[in-house]
Structure 1
Amino acid sequence: MSEAVTRSSLSTPPGLLASLEPLLRDWLPRQRWFAGKGRPVTGFSMVAATALLPPGGTRGLYHLLVRAHQPLTPARGAPEQPADCYQLLIGEREALPPRLAPALIGHVTGGPLAGRTVYDALYDPRPCELLLEALRTGARIGALRFERDSGTEIRSGLVPRLITSEQSNSSVVYGDTFILKLLRRVVPGVNPDLELPRALAREGCDRVPAPTAWMRAELSGEPYVLGVLQPFVQGAADGWDLALRGLAKGEDFAAAARALGRATAEVHTALARALPTVTLGHTQVRQQVEGMLERLDAAAQAVPTLRPYAPALRSAFDALAELAAEGSTWTAQRVHGDLHLGQCLRSPSGQWWLIDFEGEPSKPLAERRMPQPPVRDVAGMLRSFDYAAHSAEHPAPGWAEACRAAYCTGYAEAGGADPRTDPVLLRAYETDKAIYEVVYEARHRPDWLPVPMAAIRRLAADAPPAPPSTPVFPPSPRRPRP
């Protein structure tokens, strides 16, 4: 390994963040993985800085953990939210070669890097090689810890390439052998994107690529997971692309959906063996339903199109609460948390793999690690079939319904419980997911709003007639009624 990686630490120049700040204010909000879009960045604070190449040479390389401070709203004087922490790998050179033009952050005009050009170093093969070498050798550099599974060989010399398609994180493929996922928005604590695949590997579950190595930091006594290296499934296609391809050709996707249902159930079964499960009784379900109702109220306030359907949607949650009040219970366990077609890969041999166990990044880490009914993942996948059907250039009547049915059938074959046999629970979670989608599309992709609204209309139409009795959870006077 190079001297730059084996040294325990390299000094970073004083004033490094101040030198970069004017450029980061413009560059960071334009990145796909930046979570605070729509709100100005008011400043930055350094969490940790580690030099991976010696400053002052022909090129420099810095690993930074930086907090971006933003107001709650763009209004002047608004209170600030807790600042998000971002992982950056910043390279600096005198000038960028043309091949690195897409990586440009900007030209520094002041501070210790004045006169230098800085860029996103993940576009540069040499920094990516340094990361793999650090993982291969279990290096420690400043606060950074590179660790690995001793049972898997990591060869040196694998050629890196950055995946440039839009992602909520960044991924580098090494020689079609490994893929390194670098988390961009990081939080302290046990990250499920490492925790759950490792637990599944211990159970011998072959539906999830087992972590080969990982990168973390210890800061003020708290662990931060920064990246995970896993085997690269060569030649695999993600479920979203496969579904759209099949729709474009008019091909049946039900067999693939059925196999994906089996894969999902196998992962759920292994997670239930590997990690504790809990029973959700009346109190726990009441808390879940209260959260669903609050999200419905907030969504109806934010998206007026949703308001006419709110009473019927509310009945889905009230029905679940009524079952719990009558004594019904459900088992909750660790689940994927953000399952959809884009989180699934199918190898050329036809095997399905589930990936990206980070959960919904917008939610707090503690919430993402809470046990949930497995039907939450099922509901996410059922909604994904709807999205695929509505994304096709030519409508395919019945396609989504056939895939949804096949997926549930496959799930029952491998897991022993058909999600459709608990229609109240399934409807509540699918309704909650569709409400989330309505808010997301209204804010970020208004042209896509008709997709979840079609589901909203269907779910509202499925509502049973309203009983004359008082609902289990009457609307709170402090929550705006739709």
Structure 2
Amino acid sequence: MNALTGLFRDWMPSQRWFGGKGREWAGVEEESFFLDRSHPVLSIHRVTVTYTDGATETYLVPLSWRDHAVEELALAHIGTVAHENGENHAYDAMRDREATASWLTHLADGATVGPMRFVPGEGAEIPAGLPGDIVSTEQSNTSLVYGQEAILKLFRRLEPGLNPDVEVHSALRRTDNPHIAPLLGHAEIDHDRDAGTPPATVFMLQRFVPNASDGWLLATASVRDLYAEGDLHADEVGGDFAADSERLGAATASVHADMAQVLPTEEADRDWFTTVARQMTERLDAAIEVVPQLAEHADGLRAVYAAVAENPEPVVRQRVHGDLHLGQVLRTATGWIVLDFEGEPARPLAARRELDSPMRDVAGMLRSFDYAARHMLVEQPGDQQRAYRAQEWAERNRSAFCAGYAAASGMDACGNSPLLRAFEADKAVYECVYEARNRPHWLMIPLQSLSRLTAADQRGEPRP
């Protein structure tokens, strides 16, 4: 092992974007090239981690290099590499502001540097020369904001093929949909020339949306306003969110309609319904191994999934968002913007590009309203008054979202649909596994949702 791979082995597991936390490494290899030889020097590294179970993952790690330690970059310091005249200091280049302008300079030039190709959008105005500031809330990716002009998202985990976020935004650019931030360009890198695989997407650049508010923060602020009013209902509180929820439903329907216009669609056949039901059941079985509390809901959930296999409703499959929730939308002065069309990052890229029902996105947003309503109950699980208010807020905003979606699409998206109910249940099962592994004290939120859903199903009532 050389000094550089040793640094990666020590540093990567502590990074938020690294997906192999807790897995034992069997080995690590890296390939690199220089993107910029000025000051600071900028190098790009493809780091391939092999785990003891034989699986591999490849990550993109840009490094900036300096011949002395820089105090203001102490938190970005990765380590030192000795050479015959001393040592070089390696920094996380995404946190080294002086190293961030190169991305846009090369994109504006449509350059090819080593195995990386920069692809500017047709007619896009790229603010070359601006430095970027890191967005601290990132998780599976890393983003840089360039003034008020653009935002760059670096895809840390490399997979062969065009990232769905780039693919969908590129297609939607032709529709002038008002609910997306236009794509300005992207870059790709040869993934494995010997295997003949397609290049992997390195980053995408979009127009920055200034003065925008995060959907999750707005929704949870509304919930806090409701809790603060001891004797008012959700529709009487000054921070009522229902009008925003209705507009968000309409925006979601608009994006779905334009995705169906510019990307492939297909009528769902009986095999698709059967496959969806089987996959949901398999995920439930695996989840019970992680969350034993799910066993008490298992029979009800299997009945919900079985209803999908017998579902008579016609479904047109299309490209969807794949991971839609309140944290993926921004409210501006003129309406809602939908972000991050890459789907669930933990799923293989090919699976994220599959055609699906738009109801998966609707279900994801309905689950997000439940989370927004109940997240403050975690600290006071026995407060029945708050629990009642949470249910009231969730029902009001879920209904408003559905009304907005129906008005814009002409389709009753949130009726008594077996498919929508199953998508919601499947998402809640996923949430149970996530919470059990990351925030056990939040597990009550999806478990209680499953309890309400399966109880209603057993009584033959509409979904709560």
TM-score of the aligned structures, taking structure 1 as reference length = 0.86
Mark the CA change 1:113 to 1:439 in structure 2 (over 3 Å): closer, same or farther. farther
Q: Is the Cα–Cα contact under 8 Å of residues 169 and 183 in structure 1 kept in the other structure?
A: yes
Q: Which residue of 1 aligns with 2:320?
A: 335
Amino acid across the alignment from 2:364: G
Q: Is the Cα–Cα contact under 8 Å of residues 40 and 99 in structure 2 kept in the other structure?
A: no
1:339 alignment partner, SS class: coil
What is the rounded CA distance, in whole Å, between the counterparts of 1:112 and 1:18 in structure 2? 15
Q: Is the Cα–Cα contact under 8 Å of residues 118 and 187 in structure 2 kept in the other structure?
A: yes
1:96 alignment partner, SS class: coil
For the pair 1:25 / 2:13, whether they are aligned, the reply is no
By how many angstroms is 1:162 displaced? 1.0
Q: Which residue of 2 aligns with 1:102?
A: 75
Q: Which residue of 1 aligns with 2:345?
A: 361
By how many angstroms is 1:61 displaced? 1.7
Q: Which residue of 2 aligns with 1:294?
A: 282
For the pair 1:249 / 2:225, whether they are aligned, the reply is yes
Q: Which runs of 5+ in 2 are unaligned?
A: 227-238, 381-385
For the pair 1:408 / 2:380, whether they are aligned, the reply is no
Q: Which residue of 1 aligns with 2:117?
A: 145
Offset from partner CA, 1:361-420 (integer Å, 9 cap, x none): 111111100110100000000001111112237844311111111000000011111212
2:24 alignment partner, SS class: coil
Mark the CA change 1:113 to 1:364 in structure 2 (over 3 Å): closer, same or farther. farther
By how many angstroms is 1:116 displaced? 1.9
Q: Which runs of 5+ in 1 are unaligned?
A: 1-16, 72-78, 467-482
The correspondence of residues 7-406 of structure 1 with structure 2, limited to 5 A, is 18-46=2-30, 48-54=31-37, 59-71=40-52, 79-81=53-55, 83-108=56-81, 115-219=87-191, 220=193, 221=196, 222-250=198-226, 251-324=239-312, 328-347=313-332, 349-392=333-376, 395=386, 396-397=389-390, 398-406=392-400
Note the aligned Cα RMSD (angstroms). 1.9
Q: Is the Cα–Cα contact under 8 Å of residues 335 and 372 in structure 1 kept in the other structure?
A: yes
Q: Is the Cα–Cα contact under 8 Å of residues 273 and 311 in structure 2 kept in the other structure?
A: no
Amino acid across the alignment from 2:18: F
By how many angstroms is 1:152 displaced? 2.0
For the pair 1:444 / 2:438, whether they are aligned, the reply is yes
Q: Is the Cα–Cα contact under 8 Å of residues 19 and 112 in structure 1 kept in the other structure?
A: no
What is the rounded CA distance, in whole Å, between the counterparts of 1:450 and 1:150 in structure 2? 48
TM-score of the aligned structures, taking structure 2 as reference length = 0.90
Report runs of 4+ in structure 1 exceeding 3 Å deviation: 111-114, 392-397
Amino acid across the alignment from 2:147: G
What is the rounded CA distance, in whole Å, between the counterparts of 1:357 and 1:227 in structure 2? 13
The correspondence of residues 451-470 of structure 1 with structure 2, limited to 5 A, is 451-464=445-458
Amino acid across the alignment from 2:292: P
What is the rounded CA distance, in whole Å, between the counterparts of 2:58 and 2:419 in structure 1? 36
Q: Is the Cα–Cα contact under 8 Å of residues 127 and 150 in structure 2 kept in the other structure?
A: no
Aligned match for 1:435, one of 426, 429, 439: 429
Amino acid across the alignment from 1:118: A
What is the rounded CA distance, in whole Å, between the counterparts of 2:59 and 2:351 in structure 1? 20
Q: Across the two proteins, how many residue pairs are aligned to each other?
A: 434
Amino acid across the alignment from 2:77: L
1:179 alignment partner, SS class: strand
By how many angstroms is 1:350 displaced? 4.1
By how many angstroms is 1:422 displaced? 4.4
Offset from partner CA, 1:160-196 (integer Å, 9 cap, x none): 2111224220000111110000001120012101000
1:24 alignment partner, SS class: helix
Mark the CA change 1:320 to 1:242 in structure 2 (over 3 Å): closer, same or farther. same
Offset from partner CA, 1:95-148 (integer Å, 9 cap, x none): 332221111112235x78972221101111222111111111111101111111
By how many angstroms is 1:426 displaced? 1.0
Q: Is the Cα–Cα contact under 8 Å of residues 236 and 345 in structure 1 kept in the other structure?
A: yes
By how many angstroms is 1:218 displaced? 2.5
- Aligned-pair identity (%): 42
1:115 alignment partner, SS class: strand
Q: Is the Cα–Cα contact under 8 Å of residues 19 and 114 in structure 1 kept in the other structure?
A: no
What is the rounded CA distance, in whole Å, between the counterparts of 1:443 and 1:358 in structure 2? 23
Amino acid across the alignment from 1:124: D
What is the rounded CA distance, in whole Å, between the counterparts of 1:201 and 1:422 in structure 2? 34
What is the rounded CA distance, in whole Å, between the counterparts of 1:112 and 1:185 in structure 2? 33
Offset from partner CA, 1:237-267 (integer Å, 9 cap, x none): 1101111222223311111111100000000
What is the rounded CA distance, in whole Å, between the counterparts of 1:164 and 1:308 in structure 2? 39
Bigger shift: residues 58-67 or 253-262: 58-67
Q: Is the Cα–Cα contact under 8 Å of residues 5 and 29 in structure 2 kept in the other structure?
A: no
Bigger shift: residues 425-434 or 276-285: 276-285
What is the rounded CA distance, in whole Å, between the counterparts of 1:461 and 1:131 in structure 2? 53
By how many angstroms is 1:465 displaced? 5.6
